[in-house]
Amino acid sequence: MPIHEDDEMMHAEEVYTNASWRKTILTLVLFLIVAALGLFAISIGASSLGMSESIRAIMAVFLPMDDVSHFAEVVVFQLRLPRILLAIITGVSLGVAGAVMQGVLRNPLVSPFTLGLSSGAACGAALAIVLGVGILGTGQYIIMINAFFFSLLTMVVVYAISRIRGASIETLILAGVAMGYLFSAVISLLQYASGNEQLREIVFWLMGGLYAAKIENVMILIPIVVILTMILMRYSWDLNAMGAGEEVASSLGINVKQVRMACLFLSTVLTASVIAFTGVIGFIGLVSPHICRLLIGSDHRYLIPWSGLTGALLLLASDTISRTMISPTEIPVGVVTSFLGVPFFLYLLVRRKRRWWQ
Amino acid sequence: MNKNTFIILMLASLLALSFTASGEAETVQVVDASGEHIDVPLNPERIVVLPSTPIEMIYALGEGKRVVGRGVGVPPQCPSAKDLPCVASCSVGPNVEAILDLKPDLVLMCTSNGSKPATAVERLHAAGIPVLSLPSSCEPDTLLPQIETLGKILNKSVEANEFADFIEKYLGLIEERTKDLGPDEKPTVYFECKEYKTVNEETPLQHHISLAGGTNIAAEQPVKKPIVSSEWVLETNPDIIIAGAKGESLTEETLSAARDEIVSRPGLKEVKAVKDKKVYIISKKLMKGISEPIGCLYFAKWLHPDLFKDIDPTAIHKEFLQKFFGQELEGSYAYP
């Protein structure tokens, strides 16, 4: 009998190792798909610069090629590249933050949106627009900084409220939802009180978009997003344990409250920093963790990177459509994201029979 | 008994007479936004004016004191209008109760945008307040008829004509000099409201650009104020870039900073307009309402400096403010 058990043990270990390997490879494949889509996205656009010429311009970086026009270089490297990188980095951070927040709060409806972070950021931006912005250009940073801090502030308040009530998950989510409503009310009030010009600018911010991507901003965001994602991935085991319930996690030696606080704050910083540059981009933070949970299960070691990559894929695809569909006019990216993501998500929901949310 | 009846009858008829006399204020017939002829009171003492352009016009006619309430926008030429009670908001439209509270003899509003003003008009009519709907203040072609209408209502036709002449003179002058330009002689213009947000042919700015003898590169876009792709602007390679700057009191520094931002943008550095140093910034105040013709003069001068050598838009703006508003030109409106 014991020998038999041992055998089974061996077998299980083998199955586990195989599954892990498969998932690791799949993660790599997904990464390659994102890279391929990025390459595709960089080669299409509103100008007449075709795919072959764009690819030559990219190849010219690695190989000596002298027949690449200056125009191609400018379009590919100064206009398309920053935007594509911003789409990827934004998608990654929203996806990762969504997966972590859903994991840590064990609730399928949680996203930066439901926790009031987006409303907080939007409220900060609206305040800057109505009360503080002078002219074109220079006022831009006031809006970003305001958006960032209001987003953080929201999380601080939400967390503080939940601490008063013993830090239960429900209180935290409800406090987030309530704060979201409060900020929406402030935004409505500001919209109500503002003039035409400002109103338009607030609406603009609420729609979000990547068209104003600048390479400097992307360079600020890349280290933030990469480092925070790596730190958050280190919490994967804790999140997995917490998925089985707080008591289980505690009995396994996890300081549940501390992990929860750390994860929430790190993912808030993650979303707040990208939202500050792009405006409110909804839906991705909510849906890409779900899509991934349906596809590869809820092991956070894979779920977090997958969710990030899926977010990147979704946002990059949407943005590419938004800038090429009726070019040169652009369609707001949020519109495309929902049109693209919702049917796909619903399809997965209907097709998968098993209960996917544990 | 007979005598008493007679007295009562007398009193009653007198009373009736006095009622009709007071109720029958003088009216004047004007044309409203929808082209209908309607009667409005002549010489109204208390007017609530929701759009900002007619406020400017009434001030220019020297009758600013009759305006007792305003909408959201405060026209820059009428600083004293700022203190008037604001009885409408952008998002909810006119506040009928607040308007009634001001006991106006006439309400001027702009019914072209949305259903909210229309509901307010119905309610004001029900309350017996005459309402004149004016064309949306963004339409340049409607400026002159509006001035004429207001001159009629306020019994200031002479002043209204003088004002209209001033505007007509310069708009006519621009048209005269640019109308014979061939398509090749018209520079391509990229107008920017905000980073990569431009205007199509359905906006008033299209009028400015084509009046000034230019071609709007985004004229045919499907959205009124579309965001356009940066690489498309780069490829279209416009001859001239004009950007609108908003703000209460703009200085030369703020305008020049806005210009620096544009010329240093990666996608625009290589554009002909930037290379030829033909990037201009204009205050949004000169693109709406009564100051529109001044904005058109700047556009014309920038697009065709040779044709408008003798024209100094700043000097004309100065004259315009002094003559009709008794004000000095302060701050910067255009750069360089």
- Report the complex ipTM: 0.74
Residue B270: pLDDT band (50, 70, 90) is confident
CA distance, residue A47 to nearest chain B CA (Å): 5
**B226 and B298, same domain (yes or no):** yes
A80, A134, A193 ranked by CB distance to B247: nearest: A134
Residue of chain B with shortest Cα separation from A80: B231
Residue A358 lies in a domain: no
pLDDT over threshold 90, residue A308: yes
pLDDT over 70 percentage in chain B? 88
Residue A339 lies in a domain: yes
Residue B319 lies in a domain: yes
- The verdict on a CB contact (< 8 Å) between A135 and B229 is no
Query: Would you state the pLDDT for residue A79?
Result: 86
| Domain CATH number, residue B197 | 3.40.50.1980
CA distances A33 to A274, A306, B55, B332, Å, are 22, 12, 60, 52
The domain tally of chain B equals 2
Q: Is the dihedral of CA B329, B334, B335, B336 positive or negative?
A: negative
CA distance, residue B288 to nearest chain A CA (Å): 12
Residues of B in contact with A195 (CB under 8 A): 72-73, 90
**B205 and B107, same domain (yes or no):** no
Residue A356 lies in a domain: no
**B123 and B238, same domain (yes or no):** no
**B240 and B314, same domain (yes or no):** yes
Residue B279 lies in a domain: yes
Averaged pLDDT score across all residues of chain A: 84
**B255 and B313, same domain (yes or no):** yes
Residue A357 lies in a domain: no
Is the CB of B282 inside 8 Å of chain A's CB atoms?
A: no
pLDDT over threshold 90, residue A306: yes
The mean per-residue pLDDT over the stretch A347-358 comes to 66
**B44 and B188, same domain (yes or no):** no
- The verdict on a CB contact (< 8 Å) between B223 and A329 is yes
**B150 and B186, same domain (yes or no):** no
**B147 and B41, same domain (yes or no):** yes
**B29 and B150, same domain (yes or no):** yes
Is the CB of B64 inside 8 Å of chain A's CB atoms?
A: no
| Domain CATH number, residue A99 | 1.10.3470.10
Number of H helices, E strands in chain A: 15, 0
The mean per-residue pLDDT over the stretch A214-231 comes to 91
Residues A19, A93: Cα–Cα separation, whole Å: 26
Which structural domain, as residue segments, surrounds residue B242? 180-335
**B46 and B140, same domain (yes or no):** yes
- Two structure tokens written together for A54: 């764009």
The mean per-residue pLDDT over the stretch A327-353 comes to 82
Is the CB of B29 inside 8 Å of chain A's CB atoms?
A: no
A49, A192, A209 ranked by CB distance to B92: nearest: A192
**B223 and B132, same domain (yes or no):** no
Residue of chain B with shortest Cα separation from A76: B231
Which structural domain, as residue segments, surrounds residue A42? 2-351
Residues A159, A142: Cα–Cα separation, whole Å: 26
Residue A1: pLDDT band (50, 70, 90) is very low
Is the CB of B219 inside 8 Å of chain A's CB atoms?
A: no
The domain tally of chain A equals 1
- Give the residue from B122, B155, B188 where a domain finishes: B155
Residue B10 lies in a domain: no
**B255 and B300, same domain (yes or no):** yes
Residues of A in contact with B50 (CB under 8 A): none
Place of tokens 């001035």: B147
Residue B15 lies in a domain: no
B89, B228, B234 ranked by CB distance to A329: nearest: B228
Which of A54-58, A59-63, B77-81, B233-237 is the most confident on average?
B233-237
Residue B230 lies in a domain: yes
- Nearest C-alpha neighbor of A213 from the set B233, B266, B199: B266
The mean per-residue pLDDT over the stretch B228-257 comes to 87
